[in-house]
């Protein structure tokens, strides 16, 4: 057993220990789904930053930069703006009534079980798509660290995630996210200077990249319209995806949320900038990789010292795990709270709902694994799978969530039409539309128009549905 194996096995043992301890601290549904609304700004900001930072960052972003150059980094500039919007506009009203899930908010705000069910179904579909990207990345890392084939690595990665998420709930996810954020920060901060030692400074790196890829610093790497619309996907998804907004419920109060989101902005922006440098280093050192998604694992294995490279791979693994566990939890709550109890068994006991939730987490974790093994999205860069998930979530939820706390006149018909229209048009555009316009734009426009038109076509909602969110 070498140093890489020891570090990774030790890391996984700590994750399992946190899951077990979290189980002992979980006393209620509220503890399991939103950590009892007791998170402070440190753990709250860490779990939000870790949830945002996934394989899409450490493998996907580096892979896209490796393939097309720096133009893709433009879309990352919208992320701080998105989190500012969340804390300045959405959170002060959204958190006035605490719910266990985002679909539960939809039911309360729009007085509609159908809206809640539609939201839950969208979460399940989008989560399966997103987790596929993380499973593929998990297979790549396992292959580099343990020398096992990617398929075995994907299976092992999925099983580890399922076990500690099912056991510990949000408390386990939040505290493992805190650990994972520390590992991500240490990994990137240490890796970048060591990678730059292979060049005579940053200027030499940029010169060598230009020799290898003359268009690396040209905006022509991505069509302008595609860059702008992908940026819109990141903005909408960062504000209103369920795994993000449910963390607003998990924190103590608005003061805590403001500090936590500031921490999130600092951590996410810093990691993105450092990852950008690693992508350029990979381009200069390994110009002929078969896919950009191999750039990060190769940098960790061939450029960094063994110990540092292992820490970097642990950071990549942490990024993947911190996002997938959050999505599994959201999917489990969608099945248990929003579909099973809401539609099939309104009097279900807490123990029965918890069994359904854990079964849901198991199913939602296994389905994408089988999908990947069957060849779905084969050859697709990981980041593009991530952005598709973000587009679906953004087009489906941004309008009814943000509109719900800003516009009293919005009705349940408008919310349902916005969610269904946004998701369906996004999917159709992805399949048949102009590839130079990312599908989130037509999906978002459809969602917004449907929201307004269907709301105005129906009677105004009763004040009971909206007054709690508009109290001063």
pLDDT score for 375: 65
Q: In angstroms, what CA-CA distances link 312 with 62, 155, 267?
A: 13, 21, 16
The pLDDT averaged over each successive group of 10 residues in the chain (472 residues) is 74 74 71 79 86 71 76 79 92 89 92 92 82 75 76 81 68 75 82 87 85 75 81 86 86 93 91 84 83 76 78 72 72 80 74 78 80 63 66 91 94 96 93 87 96 95 91 77
What tens digit of pLDDT does each residue of 5-37 get?
A: 787 778 777 777 777 777 666 777 777 777 778
Strand, helix or coil at 112? coil
Asked whether the CA dihedral 98, 101, 104, 109 is positive or negative, the reply is positive
Strand, helix or coil at 39? strand
pLDDT score for 377: 53
- CA separation for the pair 102, 87 (Å, rounded): 17
- CA separation for the pair 239, 221 (Å, rounded): 27
Tell me the Cα Rg of the chain: 21
The values of phi and psi at residue 39, to 5°, are: -70, 135
| Closest to 334 measured CA to CA, from 356, 365, 351 | 356
- Helices and strands: H and E segment counts in the chain: 21, 0
pLDDT score for 469: 92
- CA separation for the pair 66, 58 (Å, rounded): 12
pLDDT score for 314: 75
pLDDT score for 1: 61
Identify the structural domains of the chain with CATH numbers, from first to last. Answer: 3-380 (1.20.1730.10)
pLDDT score for 261: 93
pTM confidence score = 0.82
Secondary structure, 3-state, 198-260: CCCCHHHHHHHHHHHCCCCCCHHHCCHHHHHHHHHHHHHHHHHCHHHHHHHHHECCHHHHHHH
Residue 197 · residue 50 · CB < 8 Å: no
Neighbouring CB atoms inside 10 A of 201's CB total: 10
Cβ-proximal residues to 211 (8 Å cutoff; 6+ apart), any chain: none
């Amino acid at each position: 057993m070498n140093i890489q194996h020891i570090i990774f096995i030790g890391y996984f043992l700590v994750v399992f220990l946190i899951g077990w301890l979290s189980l002992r601290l979980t006393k209620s549904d509220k503890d399991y789904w939103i950590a009892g609304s007791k998170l402070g700004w440190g753990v709250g900001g860490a779990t939000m930053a870790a949830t945002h930072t996934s394989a899409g960052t450490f493998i996907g972003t580096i892979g896209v930069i490796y393939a097309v150059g720096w133009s893709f980094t433009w879309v990352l500039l919208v992320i701080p703006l998105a989190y500012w919007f969340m804390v300045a506009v959405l959170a002060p009203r959204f958190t006035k009534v605490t719910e266990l899930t985002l679909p539960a908010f939809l039911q309360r705000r729009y007085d509609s079980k159908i809206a809640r069910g539609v939201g839950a179904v969208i979460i399940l579909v989008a989560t399966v798509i997103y987790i596929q990207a993380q499973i593929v990345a998990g297979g790549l890392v396992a292959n580099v660290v343990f020398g096992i084939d990617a398929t075995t690595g994907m299976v092992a990665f999925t099983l580890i995630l399922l076990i500690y998420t099912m056991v510990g709930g949000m408390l386990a996810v939040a505290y493992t996210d805190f650990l994972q954020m520390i590992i991500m920060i240490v990994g990137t901060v240490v890796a970048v200077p060591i990678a730059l030692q292979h060049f005579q400074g940053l200027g030499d790196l940029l010169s060598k990249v230009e020799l290898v890829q003359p268009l690396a610093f040209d905006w022509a790497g991505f069509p302008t319209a595609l860059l702008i619309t992908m940026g819109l996907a990141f903005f909408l998804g960062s504000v209103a995806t369920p795994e993000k907004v449910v963390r607003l419920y998990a924190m103590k109060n608005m003061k805590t949320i403001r500090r936590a989101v500031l921490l999130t902005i600092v951590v996410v922006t810093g990691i993105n900038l450092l990852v950008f440098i690693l992508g350029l280093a990979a381009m200069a050192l390994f110009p002929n990789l078969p896919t950009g998604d191999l750039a990060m694992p190769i940098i960790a294995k061939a450029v960094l010292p063994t110990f540092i490279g292992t820490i970097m791979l642990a950071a990549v693994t942490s990024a993947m795990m911190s996002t997938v566990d959050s999505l599994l939890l959201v999917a489990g709550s969608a099945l248990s709270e929003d579909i099973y109890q809401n539609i099939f068994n309104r009097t279900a006991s807490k123990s029965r709902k918890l069994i359904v939730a854990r079964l849901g987490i198991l199913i939602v974790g296994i389905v994408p694994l089988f999908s990947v093994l069957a060849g779905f999205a084969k050859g697709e860069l990981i980041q593009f799978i991530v952005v598709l998930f973000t587009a679906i979530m953004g087009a489906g939820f941004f309008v009814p969530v943000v509109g719900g706390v800003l516009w009293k006149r919005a009705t349940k018909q408008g919310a349902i039409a916005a969610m269904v229209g946004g998701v369906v048009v996004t999917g159709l555009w992805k399949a048949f539309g102009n590839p130079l316009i990312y599908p989130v734009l037509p999906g978002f426009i459809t969602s917004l128009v449907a929201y307004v038109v269907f709301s105005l076509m129906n009677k105004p909602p009763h004040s009971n549905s909206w007054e709690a969110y508009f109290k001063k």
